[in-house]
Structure 1
Amino acid sequence: MTTTRVFHGGSVFTGTGTPLDGQAVIVRGERIDRILPETELAAVLGAEPEGSVELIDLRGALLSPGFQDAHIHAVGGGVELLQCDLSGTASAEEAVAAVRAYAEANPDEEWILGGGWSMDCFPGGNPARGLLDAAAPGRPVLLASRDHHSLWASTAAIERAGLGPDTPDPVDGVIVREEDGSPAGTFHEGAGDLFGDVRPATSEELRYRGLLRAQEELIALGITGWQDAMVGGEGASIADPLPAYERALSEGTLRVHVTGAQWWERDRGIEQVAHMVAERQRVAALGSPERLEIGTTKIMVDGVAENHTAAMLTPYRDSHGHDTHNHGLSFIDPARLREYVTALDAAGMQVHMHALGDRAVREALDALEAARAANGPTDNRHHLAHLQIVAEEDVPRFAELDAVANLQALWATHEDQLDQLTLPFLQEGLEARQYPFGDLVRAGARLAAGSDWPVSSAAPLDAIHIAVTRVAPGLDAEPLGGAHQRLDLATAMAAYTSGSAYVNHRDHDTGHIKPGYRADLVVLDPSPFDVPADEIHRSRVAQTWIDGALVHAVETAATTARTTSIDEEGEPS
């Protein structure tokens, strides 16, 4: 007998607009059956067999579609939780202590791998190899930065890779050096790949365990689906997660739905398109597109601003405020980028571009414009992620080109890494262009949202808080970029639900509370719509439901689930 579940006693965010009050949501099996006024519940449920109805009393909490993360590295994040995890450290001393503790607890591990250190904890954002040498004497250590655009290496790791004063910087990266030219311990962007031949590979078993750990963590945050921003490729610190997803699919342990973005190798060419189409078809033949599909391509257009590799229209300044010759890095020649995006679009692939600096955003939009000119409008739903700086004249182009703005809203606040390592080195006026969410909305851009975890916290509610306030909880600062860049709460919630469902091509059955849609739901207590904007972060995930099944629950003062039989008059007994 199919169980009927009735969510009542709270408000309902359907995926867009203002939450509904006085409405009940009826779920039959895996799907949403209907939404109806609570006053009509008795009449509707009176015909149900006795004992077949479960009433979930929200007691004032909010029922919402499950969150979807449109840009995440879930398997990499899970693996890091199982390795030397520095994500909870807030200073150089804490980071070094964590490495020392891990080394002592794991004496048989030849290499110490992991990540999560923050650049603002170290002078100039560049931790030195000597700190690792002291924490783990004689052992090779490789630790990715929080944003995964830099590696911190011990002397033993550097020596094993054969790197020295005469090692040139790669074209897409920087080796931070000591006075004699020796590697100092920090390797930015493509320089991290110099360890590729010596660092231990991440085993398929570890990747699988990382996926299961990540899935547990993310479901607890109310996330019921995501787009993995790097599958099918190997990075300096993230191993290909696709085998883990396929194993979970075959073993029935993949609870969420995943869109995989196939990694574009920037040192290769257009021949990758045919391979990606073939991989898309191979995964589709597994027969579970509602759980896993890989019809997206991920292209890194540039780096990040804190290590001055984000591609900028104007030059970075030095510590004295003088212009340098550095405009950041375009990882792919703009002409080639237009060629590649046009070919991918013609092949029906979605393109997901990392574009952080204003020049990178312009180059990405130019590529989409070239694709549209060649192929006409499509429903491929291309999107640009991060968007730290967007030139005013490029803002309207998002709507004109049907380009989705994929926001990592947790970053849109003053914090040490931005204030110490980025803003002082940008031209005057660019602080006002940081993460211009409000401008994008006013220009008609469609929004999606994600976290880039493990770069930063995966918690959607924390990101939504900052999207609405532009100030991190507890921080005494002005809204980054000005109050006009704030989002209203309904818009921020929509970006993380229906907006990301649209990007993931799952808006036909997820991202909304509508009849016929999958019952992928989250209960938020208290409702973020019922608290002041500066207290949105107090809202917590009380329950997560996937396909009508309760997969996560936390007892709270306001929410409880109880099974109640219905008497002949349709009233609870």
Structure 2
Amino acid sequence: MNLAAIVSAAVVLLLSILSLRLLDTYYWSSLRSLLPFTPSSPVADLVAWNGTIYTSDASLPFADAMAVRRGRVLRVGSYSSLKELVHSGTEKLDLGGKVVVSGFIDSHVHMIYGGLQMGRVELRDVNRKEEFVRRIEEAARNSKPGSWILGGGWNNDLWGGELPLASWVDEVTPANPVWVTRMDGHMGLANSVALELAGISKLSEDPKGGIISRTADGELTGLLIDSAMKLLLASIPEVSLNERREALVRASKYALTKGVTTVVDFGRYFPGAPVEFSWQDFSDVYQWADSSGRMIIRVCLFFPVETWSLLLDQINKFGRVLSQWIYLGGVKDFADGSLGSSSALFHEPYLNEPHNHGLQLIEHERLLNMTVTSDKSGLQVAIHAIGDKANDLVLDVYQSVASMNGVRDRRFRIEHAQHLAMGAAARFSQQGIIASVQPDHLLDDADSASKKLGKERADLGSYLFRSLLGSNGGLAFGSDWPVRIMLPTAKYMLLKSRIFYFDAFGIL
């Protein structure tokens, strides 16, 4: 073979190899990002200046200006130090002295549920019975006969504590079924039309872990608590696919307006809700949004604990990181209800209800078994616990599971951890458990906690952020949106105020 033929063959082979990379645009964009920038390179798409930029870097905690390229921060510092990155096409943004921080992470939300609620009857700020009735009447007036009137967010403490009754709204909704949930999602009010459609009567038995509220005479009040809600939810038509997709887009845009760029989403999973909802939303909504380029915030998804094997199968096939937007987190369950619905589980009875200790929503053995299997499979487990007895129950379960399954970085979570028995806060650190707390739930529960638990009991055992920090426990902050609004800066200030209050009185 002559030299020319050898050279020709070598050139063809080399070009063939290079063509694999020449067609790979990701490779070239990655390679370009590694090259040093020169003053002649048009490197900065945006330069923000004249602000206070928090960097989280101990060597330079604050900066005046920031250069950005393709959505990534190139450099922070003084404006003069960034001039070499500016070119004729660089956008310049005068911050006007405003503060810039990185995107916030909300560690507990319900995105699609919250997005749906944004388009329904809003009762969050209602502080009078008359206004409660008026808003539902207005919704009925604008609805076709027979269509469901859905909504929620009401807080009976805002109008003195009296719980709403079906009789409040029956007269103004004679042709429409009504279902409006309390702000915490653990109680809802149905009118008489809805109760009849669901087949709920005064002869109906309370399901395990739930209460069908009745008057002293045994008549239905219209209130359903925790797992009793499933008796009615089964009668509500399923939300359409388009509505759920629109809800995610709406919720994501809302999150960005509050500076939240990443969320831990517990889905439409509440006591009484079908576990299938979470998986339908994952496949029909989240994966659709991801594949169609509609994701604009990052999500860590949790699923009902009884579906742990489905989640494990997904992770084994595709991994936890499905894209830059979606991460498969773990599984969740409920140990009890809520304080506002008087269904949080306590060692001592409610002060205003001497025979009520709250509700345990899952049997100890079942909770233990599902946590053992989920943890053994490598899944992170998060369990909702509000009352002190519920928190002790979950702490005991987690301790047993860790003993059975051995040491690993499992990061068990307790969602809310609102009311703790003496010594319980220290166990979070000892057992390596994350307390996922929502500081501004305190704004809703402060008065009701004193009324339902007694002031001394509430002060010593409720919202012990300082105690958890003092024991070196891990804290994750969230809003529980739509229970509360997403407003990270307000939550941080409330948290600081709570800690300083405890410091002032020497409470740990």
Once the two structures are TM-superposed, the CA of residue 222 in structure 1 deviates from its matched residue by 0.7
Find 1:182's aligned residue among 203, 219, 241: 219
Is 1:27 the equivalent of 2:68?
Answer: yes
**Contact 1:72–1:452 (Cα < 8 Å) also in 2:** yes
CA distance change for structure 1 residues 15 and 370 in 2, over 3 Å: closer, same or farther? farther
Segment of structure 1 superposing worse, 205-214 or 428-437 = 428-437
CA distance change for structure 1 residues 49 and 219 in 2, over 3 Å: closer, same or farther? closer
CA distance change for structure 1 residues 23 and 339 in 2, over 3 Å: closer, same or farther? farther
- Bigger Rg, which one: 2
Once the two structures are TM-superposed, the CA of residue 274 in structure 1 deviates from its matched residue by 1.8
2:21 alignment counterpart: none
Once the two structures are TM-superposed, the CA of residue 314 in structure 1 deviates from its matched residue by 1.9
2:240 alignment counterpart: 203
**Contact 1:73–1:453 (Cα < 8 Å) also in 2:** yes
What amino acid maps onto 1:244 in structure 2? V
2:312 alignment counterpart: 277
Q: Deviations over 1:300-326 (max 9, x none)?
A: 11111122211112222236xxxx343
Separation in structure 1 between the aligned mates of residue 54 and residue 60 of structure 2, nearest angstrom: 4
Separation in structure 2 between the aligned mates of residue 371 and residue 425 of structure 1, nearest angstrom: 33
1:116 alignment counterpart: 153
Separation in structure 1 between the aligned mates of residue 105 and residue 264 of structure 2, nearest angstrom: 8
Is 1:11 the equivalent of 2:48?
Answer: no
Count of aligned pairs = 462
Is 1:151 the equivalent of 2:188?
Answer: yes
What amino acid maps onto 1:177 in structure 2? R
Separation in structure 2 between the aligned mates of residue 330 and residue 26 of structure 1, nearest angstrom: 53
2:39 alignment counterpart: none
What amino acid maps onto 1:290 in structure 2? Q
Once the two structures are TM-superposed, the CA of residue 297 in structure 1 deviates from its matched residue by 0.6
Find 2:297's aligned residue among 256, 259, 276: 256
Name the SS of the counterpart of 2:248 in structure 1.
helix
Segment of structure 1 superposing worse, 198-207 or 219-228 = 198-207
1:95 alignment counterpart: 132
**Contact 2:146–2:176 (Cα < 8 Å) also in 1:** no
Is 1:360 the equivalent of 2:390?
Answer: yes
5+ residue gaps, structure 1, are: 266-271, 472-478, 488-573
Q: Deviations over 1:25-54 (max 9, x none)?
A: 33332323344x42xx545542x4622433
Find 2:100's aligned residue among 63, 68, 76: 63
Q: Which has the higher contact order (CA 8 A, sep 6+)?
A: 1
What amino acid maps onto 1:261 in structure 2? F
What amino acid maps onto 1:278 in structure 2? D
**Contact 1:8–1:24 (Cα < 8 Å) also in 2:** yes
CA distance change for structure 1 residues 483 and 14 in 2, over 3 Å: closer, same or farther? farther
CA distance change for structure 1 residues 22 and 292 in 2, over 3 Å: closer, same or farther? closer
Residue pairs, 1:518-537, within 5 angstroms: none
2:35 alignment counterpart: none
CA distance change for structure 1 residues 122 and 161 in 2, over 3 Å: closer, same or farther? farther
Once the two structures are TM-superposed, the CA of residue 462 in structure 1 deviates from its matched residue by 2.4
Once the two structures are TM-superposed, the CA of residue 234 in structure 1 deviates from its matched residue by 8.8
**Contact 1:386–1:406 (Cα < 8 Å) also in 2:** yes
**Contact 1:357–1:387 (Cα < 8 Å) also in 2:** yes
**Contact 1:381–1:402 (Cα < 8 Å) also in 2:** yes
Task: Provide the alpha-carbon RMSD of the alignment.
Answer: 2.9
5+ residue gaps, structure 2, are: 1-41
Separation in structure 2 between the aligned mates of residue 43 and residue 463 of structure 1, nearest angstrom: 35
Separation in structure 2 between the aligned mates of residue 29 and residue 385 of structure 1, nearest angstrom: 36
Name the SS of the counterpart of 1:412 in structure 2.
helix
**Contact 1:7–1:24 (Cα < 8 Å) also in 2:** yes
Separation in structure 1 between the aligned mates of residue 229 and residue 62 of structure 2, nearest angstrom: 52
Is 1:212 the equivalent of 2:236?
Answer: no
1:387 alignment counterpart: 417
Q: What TM-score does the superposition give when structure 2 sets the normalisation length?
A: 0.83
**Contact 1:118–1:145 (Cα < 8 Å) also in 2:** yes
Query: Which segments of structure 1 move beyond 6 Å, counting only runs of 4 or more?
Result: 16-19, 479-482
Is 1:430 the equivalent of 2:480?
Answer: no
Is 1:291 the equivalent of 2:325?
Answer: yes
Segment of structure 1 superposing worse, 123-132 or 389-398 = 123-132
CA distance change for structure 1 residues 28 and 123 in 2, over 3 Å: closer, same or farther? closer
Name the SS of the counterpart of 1:65 in structure 2.
coil
1:538 alignment counterpart: none
What amino acid maps onto 2:175 in structure 1? G
**Contact 1:193–1:236 (Cα < 8 Å) also in 2:** yes
**Contact 1:233–1:263 (Cα < 8 Å) also in 2:** no
Once the two structures are TM-superposed, the CA of residue 109 in structure 1 deviates from its matched residue by 5.9
Q: Deviations over 1:429-454 (max 9, x none)?
A: 32222101111111111221111111
